[in-house]
Amino acid sequence: MFEKVLIANRGEIAIRILRACREMGIKTVAVHSTADADAMHVRLAEESICIGPPAAKDSYLNPSAILTAATIAHVDAIHPGYGFLSENADFAAMVEEHDFAFIGPSADHIRLMGDKIAAKQAVKDAGIPVVPGSDGALADADEALAAAEAIGYPVLIKATAGGGGRGMQVVRDAEGVAQAYALARAEAKAAFTSDEVYLEKFLEAPRHIEVQVLADSQGNVVHLGERDCSLQRRHQKLLEEAPSPALNEAQRQSIGDKVVQAIKKLGYRSVGTVEFLFEKGEFYFIEMNTRLQVEHPVTEMICGLDLVREMIRVAAGAPLGFKQSEIKFSGHSIECRINAENPDTFQPCPGLVGIYHAPGGLGVRVDSGLYSGYTVPPHYDSMIAKLIVHGANRNECLMRLRRALSEYVIDGLDTTIPLHQRLMNEPDFVNGDYDIHWLQKFVDGTNT
């Protein structure tokens, strides 16, 4: 096992990793920018090294500074956390070239999953369902019609070079294909100079459901159930829950088994998350995240495992200590991401924290680096805390979450706590009846 680990991150996730290390008897080295000299992860670590100025590109995103710090501090391994260098394949390779263990997957797997087209093909070949579409560009309107008929309506005709919604046409029936095809081509030509278009199934109101996996170097793979992360605004998740209110036991087992088989085929090691869109009982692969995720605690709460501990163990070469059949899911868990933002305008609000009081009690967990007198620096992500609660069932979980939100005091900053409190009283949310568009409509006040 490792004796000393460098944590190449900041904020709550640096503390999260530090806690796992400490419980395993592993010493920690915090690295930080000058803006984070007073940060809690720096204060709690056995050693700390300032690696650069506030700008992330010169500190937390600077592989050379981090590897030099690791060399000076004589660590055995580096944990990248999430964000920053966590999905940088070159960094993972550099870490290993310097004879440190990278607490994560291999550089090759990070690289594969980082290439969205190659990743889709790789997981499709390994048996994971993907969004059905035309294989490549469409030659003419007849080919578009044939592909649409094969997939089933509605379909989306998209520019191959596309992005930002331009060159995209939704087609709901056979009559619309020819016109939409022509329009999409014209739009694509205008926006991207190439008029190549392709076609795929259009999902109107899917949910975002992701499956957590854990694999060791010996080829043992388990899944730890799913998380529902449909509550998003501008692709930023706000609240996550496990299990998903939309899945039944058969669907859970079926997708879990498919993911486990695929991950085995791919020879993947460490924790990872396979993200899907879920609509009308079907799963469609979006991407795979080759790292620990922000919302990992909801999985920990329902299966009683410490994912960071498991990550460290498998990175040190240890085999998983349990089989799929030994993993038991218990109760329900929800995580609220608390950002230093105005709850109505989402304007970031860094600054000095006044009185700070975190909620507690049975089934309540707060992952945060906040303390009274701490100044939230303006240079980084606005997420300042995660409030995670667990209950015997979803209803108990919601009651507990309302109680915990009402206890939470973070003076001096605008936070998203009031938004979460509003959410707790929305019938759609209480009933678990929401898709990936729901939150945006809710904050825009256009939900009907």
Partner 1 sequence: MADKPERDIDEDLVRQLAKLLDETGLTEIEYGRDGWHVRVSGRTQQVATIDPAPAQSGGDTQATPDDSVDVDLTNAVTSPMVGVVFTSSDPETPPFIKVGDQVEEGQTLLLIEAMKVFNPITATKAGKVVQILITNGAPVEFGEPLLILE
Instruction: List contacts with partner 1 (CB under 8 A).
Output: 29, 31, 33-34, 37-38, 42-53, 59, 64-65, 67-69, 72-74
- Nearest distance, CB of residue 8 and partner 1, angstroms: 12
Q: Do the beta carbons of residue 412 and residue 354 sit within 8 Å? A: yes
Shortest spacing between CB 34 and partner 1, in angstroms? 6
> Degrees (nearest 5) of the Cα angle 175, 178, 182?
145
Nearer to partner 1 among residue 102 and residue 202 (C-beta)? 102
Angle between helices 394-407 and 417-424 (to 10 degrees): 140
Of 291, 313, 337, 365, the active-site residue reads 291
**Bridging pattern class, strands 383-391 and 364-368:** antiparallel
Write down the least CB distance from residue 39 to partner 1, Å: 9
User: Using CA atoms, how far apart are residues 39 and 409, in angstroms rounded to an integer?
Assistant: 19
Between CA 276 and CA 284 the distance in angstroms is 5
Report the C-alpha gap between 295 and 432 in whole angstroms.
Answer: 18
Q: Which residues pair with 226 in a beta bridge?
A: 211
Under 8 Å between Cβ of 119 and 48: no
* Least distance from partner 1 to the Cβ atom of residue 44, Å: 7
* Residue 40 or 398 with smaller CB distance to partner 1: 40
Reply yes or no on whether 19 is catalytic.
no
**Ramachandran sector of residue 288 (left: φ over 0; alpha: ψ -120 to 50; beta: rest):** beta
Closer to partner 1 by CB, 68 or 342: give it.
Answer: 68
Of residues 38 and 433, the one with the C-beta less far from partner 1: 38
**Among residues 447, 437, 426, 424, which one has the least CA distance to residue 207?**
437
Q: DSSP code of 287?
A: E
Residue 319 vs 373, nearer CB to partner 1: 373
The nearest distance, CB 30 to partner 1, in angstroms, is: 9
Q: Tell me the catalytic residues.
A: 291
